[in-house]
Amino acid sequence: MLTANGQQLGIVDDVYFDQNLGIKVIGYELTEGFISDLKEGRKWLPLPESVTVGEDAIIVPVHCQDALEDSFIPKEE
């Protein structure tokens, strides 16, 4: 997933749908890789107002970088 200015937000690991509306996407879970998932957790991006789906990338508005939320917080050891 990339922003419109080329900033990589992560790799889409999962797509979330609204149960009541069937195929309506409500957000994406992003990963930066296995080690990063363990250390920092994955990120959640609620569906932005505009999304361009290409063959190799999903492009979202630049402000989506600030909209990323933690979806999993790893436990401290």
User: How does pLDDT run across 50-68, given as a tens digit for each residue?
Assistant: 999 999 999 999 999 998 8
Predicted pLDDT at 58:
94
Give the integer Cα–Cα distance in Å for 10 and 7.
9
Q: pTM to 2 decimals? A: 0.76
For residues 53 and 71, the model is more confident at 53
Within 10 A of 6 (CB to CB), how many other CB atoms are there?
8
3-class SS string, the chain: CEECCCCECCEEEEEEECCCCCCCEEEEEEECCHHHHHHHCCEEEECCCCCEECCCCEEECCCHHHHCEECCCCCCC
Mean pLDDT of 7-11: 94
